[in-house]
Structures are given as structure tokens and as C-alpha cells.
A and B are shown apart, each in its own frame.
Chain A
Amino acid sequence: MKRRFALAAALVALCAAVELVAGRGMSPATAWEVLNGGGDATERHILFQLRLPRTLVALGAGACLAVAGLVLQSALRNPLAGPEVTGVTPGAVLGAVTATALGLAGWDSPLAVVVAACAGGCAGAALLWLLTGRGGGDPAQTAVHGVLVSAVLGGVTAMVLLVKPGELGSVVQWLVGTTEGRVWQHWHLLWPWALVWGAAAWLLAGPLTLLRCGDDMALAAGLRAGRARTLALLCAVALTAGAVASVGALGFVGLLVPHLAVALFGADLRTALPGAALVGAAVVCGADAAAQLSSRLLAAVLDAGRFALPVGALTACLGALMLLVVVRRTPNRAF
């Protein structure tokens, strides 16, 4: 187990390193030089004011999403539950889009966007909460309602976008999920939030492991299943809101990374949760690095100067393929 953790940590470090050197405007050799204290002012600015925070935000958001997904899947006992189907992600997008459309938040004020996204995410989760009878519902029903809530919120988002078409271009990035243009301010907003809720999730690891075994088992072991599930959902919502507020609606990370983490670190959440955080960070960061590299390639091929592939595009495409594998492997009675 320790070796696996070391391996995951090494993977995270590797992805972060690749992310730091994979970008336009600077060759890897130059980046290395800057890291060693060389380089001119521009290069230093690119590396320390743009690339480093971007890398950190990608790592943090990936970890948040993965942990949120694992918590959700354990609490709802549904291998297909993910932050996308809790109403949190579309709610957060709606919050960010609305704030931008009303002129309350622009791209020059990350704080306002993050706050709006968080508020939206919590509103989406609250809607789900009300629908499912205040958290007492059974897992399958919660999932169904989650999809419906997401649909409604998507409809509202579309309305806002069409009323304010001028905002559409910048907002589309949000709908897919991107790490473009993240600065230190985003990181400063993300890490305390992630740390607090991540710690809360880790404290819940024991009860969650029991919940994974089914409510009957949990009740027999003396756990109040309803209460534990409520707390877990709260935790997952908070983590998702933080992640979506910082990078937008990254698809599939919260749905699939938990499966990977459980396969690697076992089903005991006391080890699987930190493992999921590491794997999630590595996945998002690696995907972002890959997206940047492929953007460069595509830009060279298509001769388009400012073509940037959002990281969400990659995670979505990879996610769809992996989803097929996961669903096929899951035994039928698991739902």
C-alpha cells in the first residue's frame, strides 16, 4: 500500500512537471532555466504567475472532484453516481454564468466568479435536497432526481446565455471545464476550502465504508445511516462546488477516478480517499498537460494561432470510453 501511495505521488509530481513545461511561448529548456533562477522577466512571469498557479489549481480541482465522487458513490451505493448528477455542477455553472451575465463578475475578478459558482452549486444541491425528501430517500431515487435537477438547471443556464449572447464565448469554456488563465487568486481561494472539506471527508471515511456495505449492515453496526449519508452528501457538494468554481464543469473525473482509486487502493475508504485525491490530481493535471500539448500540435497542423483545447474536452472523451468499461464490469446487482 505504501508503495502504491508513493507511486501515485510520483505520478502526480510527474504530471505537474509536464504541465509546467507543456505550454506555448516557452521551450521546456527555457522553463528549466527559469526554475533554476535564470530567464528574463517575461519568462519568469509566465512560469511563476501563470503556469504554476494553473498547475496547482488543476491538481486541487482534480483531487476535490475525485474525493467528492468517491464520497457520493459510497453514500448513494451507486457506482454511477458522480458530481454531475447531483445538481451541483450545473448549479455552479449557472451561478457563474448568471453572475457574469449580470455584470456582477467578470474575468478580471476571480473572487466574484468563485463565490457565485459556490452559491449556485449549493442552490442546486438544495434543490435536490428538497426533491428527495430532505435526504431520506433511497439512493437510486436520489440519482434519478439528481439527473432531473441537472436538466432543469441546464435549461435555466441556456436561457441566461441566450439573453446575454455576448458572454457566450467566454462561458463555453466554463461549460466544458478549463484551466486557462487561472492565477494565484484562484489557488488562494481553492486550497483552504479543499483542505477543510477534504479533512471532513476523511473523518467520514469509516462511516462511509460501512455505508458502502449497505444500510442494513450499517444499521446493524450501530451507524445512523440517514444521518451519515446526509453529512457525506454535504461534504461532496462542498467539494464539488469548490472544484467547479475554480475550473468549471469538468466531466467524468468525479465519476470515474473513484473506480480507479478503489481498484488501486482497496475499498477501505481510509486509504482509498487519499488515494482518490492523488489519482484525481494526477488525472486532471495530466489531462491538462496533454490538452496543451495537443493544442500546440493542432495549432501547428491547422495553422490556427489561438486554438486552445480545454481540458474538459479530453476528460469527457476519455471518460466516455472508460465509462463503458466500468459499466460493463459492474455486476448487475450493484445498482
Chain B
Amino acid sequence: MAALLLTAAALCALSLGTPFVAPHRIAGAALEGDTTLAGIVLTELRVPRLLLALVAGACLGAAGLVLQEALRNPLAVPEMLGVSSGAALGVAAPLVLAVSLPAAVQPLTAIGGAVLGGGLTLLAAGLGRSPSAVLLTGAAVAAALQAALLVMMVTADQLDLQLIYRYLLGSLSARTWDDVSGLWPWLLVAVPALVLCAPVLSVMRLGDEDAEALGVRAGRARLAALAIAVVLIAPVTAVCGPVAWVGFLAPHVARRFAPTATAVRWLPWSAVWGAVVVAVADVPARLALAPVETPAGAWTALLGVPAGVVLLRSSRRGRPSGRGAATPRPAAAPAAVRAVPPGPRTAAPDGSVPGPGASGGIGKQAAGGFGDTPSAPHRDRGTEDAR
């Protein structure tokens, strides 16, 4: 399925557009190199763009999974933690303020911004709060960062404005080999780290106490996971902007296809699906409103969010799915967002009315911040309100 989609997207990416290169001629045209127009377009524009889409998607997908598993929160995605907005701010601020930076420094400013945004959210929301609390806080932080960026944009001139706005959503337009090659050093750091942290992540799902019992320092592991996520997201953001919602969709698709697996297996699949999503989204981004390019991020938001909602809703009761349950309890509502039977509610309190302290459908986790926060109510795991 993934391979099929990937092949189709790659073929479309390489052959469609102006000039049109028939699929059977792609290899030949690419080999001609810079002697024909088609060859130049292929080797200098379309191939790097496709590569970048795949790499960026893989990074974002993997980062999304890392975040979701580390925070045990199905809604922890870069967009909702303020990480993406922060990184975008870090990249765009020098642009707007007309501070010229060498290209090598760009990922660093992006990382700085990402850490700022994510840190702000986690500082506000805390690590042990319910997923929806983190989500709402993250949305607010992201809004603040966006506002800061927009204010800068107001002071910029028209040309910058368009570039930045497109970039804010994530766009792959006009990306060349230089941009692709700038990503490798970061990947060299991130990929081994990912491989190392995958087993730890699968232990983290059990909840902090069980993880500690198995010898994982939960607080540190979580910090490390967040750091890895930032290192994955920031360079991609520096190059093509935070392509929206890939980190939300890809892990959920990966889990959907392998509901009983662990993080070790989900991680590569998340990366693959992330690559598929971005590659597929880039095709309409390039062609839908030609000659104007639309940002790929707008398409991923348009298509990805509804798809994600459907995925979240369709995880039926009783099937273990990727959610941040403290322990996999068979009687728990598995999805972060439960389908609600439509129609008027009866006045009689049925089981789905959340009692005080319950966060609908999303299991409350024991407050396990860094070490132990004295103020946090310490709950035994598994004593969630099983309604």
C-alpha cells in the first residue's frame, strides 16, 4: 500500500508539470542530464524536490511518533506543541529583520525557535497533564508565536510577506540540491539516535513507574526523546517550513496498519508514511492551481486533519491502539477521541457523562513530570476513571 502510493507519487512528481515527461522517458531524460530541457528540469528541480519531500516527510513522521510515544499522548504533534511555529519563527525572524545569516546557521536558529516553542508549551502544560490540556496550551502558544511572526510580517514588505507566508505552512517550491545536501549532517545525528531510542520508547508506553522498574529513567528518556524530535523537526523546518500535520497523520496511519506492534516497529513505518504523505501532498501543491504554487502544508492540513480525525474515531472500543494509556487495560476506551452517538442526549446520566476530573475518553495519566513534582497528585497507575 505504502509502496504503491509512494511509486505513484514519485512518478507524478517526476513526470507531471511543464514540460511533461512521459513516465517511460524519465530515466532516459535524467541520464541526458543538462543537454535537454527535460533533463535539466528533472535533475535540477524535480529529483531534488522529490528527495526533499521524502526526507522531510520521513523526519516529520518519525518525530511525530517520538513525541506521541514519549509524552504518551496521541495528540502530541509538532504543530500542537508549538514546536513547528517556534522553528518557523526562528527561521523567519532573521529573514524579516534583514539579518543575513550563512545557510549553515539557519538550522540552528530553527532549533532555537523549536526549543523555545516546545519548551514554552511543556513549561505551561507540564508533562503529566491530560492530552487535551497539552493540546490546548500548545494551540495557544502556537498562536502567540504565529502572532509574533505576523507582526514582523506586517513590518516587512510585500515580497517577503508572500515568501514567509508560504514558508510558514511548509512548501517545497524552488528547492534545489543545496537544500537537500544541507540536511545530511543533521540526519547523521538524528537517525542513530532514533534507532537507539526506539526500544526505550516502547517501554515508555507502560507508564513511568513500570518503565522505572525496568530500568529506564523516565524523565531523562523523555527529555532525550524531545531533543531528538527537535533535531528532526528543526532542520526540515529550516529548509521547507513545517509541513503541517504530517507528524499527526503518519504515526496514526502506521499504528492503524499494525495495531498490536510496539514503537520499534512503528517508527520506520511512521517515517515511511510521513514520506508518502508529503510526496503525495506535493503533487497537488505543484499542479492544482498552476502556475501559482500552493504550499504543500496547506494540502496536508486539508487532507491530513480530516483523515486523522477519521482514524482517531474509527479505533473501536477494546482494540489496543496507539494511545497514551498508563497500562493497556482491556476495558478502556482506546481512542483519544471517541465517537459519540449522534442525536439528543437523554436527561438520564448515562455512562458517558464525564465526572469531575475525567477528561473525556483520554485517560488521565499519573503526573510524571521530571522526577517527581511535589504538587502533582500522585495516582496509582490504572486507577483512571474507567467509564
Interface residues, chain A, CB within 8 Å of chain B?
78, 80-82, 84-85, 131-134, 136-141, 143-145, 147-148, 150-152, 154-156, 158-159, 161-163, 165, 168-169, 172-173, 175-176, 214-216, 219, 224-227, 251-252, 255, 304, 307-310, 312-313, 316-317, 319-320, 323-324, 327-328, 332-333, 335
Contacts and interface: CB of A to CB of B under 8 A. Distances in A.
B2 interface: no
Interface stretch (B41-49, B153-161, B211-219): B153-161
Nearest to A178: B154
Contacts of B169: 155, 158
Contacts of A131: 309
B75 to A, nearest CB: 6
Contacts of B294: 159, 162-163
- Which of B80, B298, B308 has the most chain A CB atoms closer than 10 A to its own CB? B298
B124 interface: yes
A335 B340 contact: no
B298 A158 contact: yes
A144 B144 CA distance: 18
Contacts of A81: 136
Contacts of A137: 340, 360
Contacts of A310: 151, 154
A88 B218 CA distance: 39
Given A324-B120, A332-B367, 13 more contacts: A78-B136, A137-B340, A141-B360, A151-B79, A155-B302, A162-B162, A162-B293, A176-B147, A214-B355, A214-B356, A219-B348, A317-B147, A333-B357
B305 A136 contact: no
Interface stretch (B21-29, B314-322, B331-339): B331-339
Interface stretch (B7-15, B101-109, B125-133, B251-259): B125-133
6 contacts: A80-B133, A138-B361, A159-B295, A168-B162, A169-B158, A332-B377
Interface of B: 75, 79-80, 120, 123-126, 128-133, 135-137, 139-141, 143-145, 147-148, 150-151, 153-155, 158, 161-162, 165-166, 168-169, 244-245, 289, 292-295, 297-302, 305-306, 308-309, 336-345, 347-349, 352-357, 359-362, 367, 376-377
A316 B347 CA distance: 40
**10 nearest A-B residue pairs (beta carbon):** A155-B301, A316-B147, A138-B360, A320-B144, A80-B136, A133-B340, A226-B345, A313-B151, A333-B357, A140-B360
A148 B313 CA distance: 13
A152 B306 contact: yes
Nearest to B162: A165
A82 B83 CA distance: 21
A335 B298 CA distance: 31
A332 B376 contact: yes
**Prevailing SS type, chain A contact patch:** helix
Contacts of A317: 144, 147-148
B80 A147 contact: yes
A170 B5 CA distance: 40
B99 to A, nearest CB: 15
B161 A172 contact: yes
A332 B366 CA distance: 10
A319 B140 contact: yes
Given A136-B344, A323-B124, A147 B360 contact: no
A148 B305 contact: yes
Contacts of B376: 332
Contacts of B135: 143-144, 147
A163 B308 CA distance: 26
B367 A133 contact: no
Given A80-B140, A138-B352, A162 B166 contact: yes
B125 A327 contact: yes
A163 B292 contact: yes
A320 B148 CA distance: 11
Given A155-B244, A172-B153, A140 B361 contact: yes
A101 to B, nearest CB: 12
Contacts of B356: 214, 216, 333
Given A140-B361, A162-B294, A147 B136 contact: yes
Contact of A219 (B79, B143, B245, B349): B349
B247 to A, nearest CB: 12
Given A133-B342, A155-B298, A307-B155, A144 B132 contact: yes
A84 B124 CA distance: 18
Contacts of A176: 147, 150-151, 154
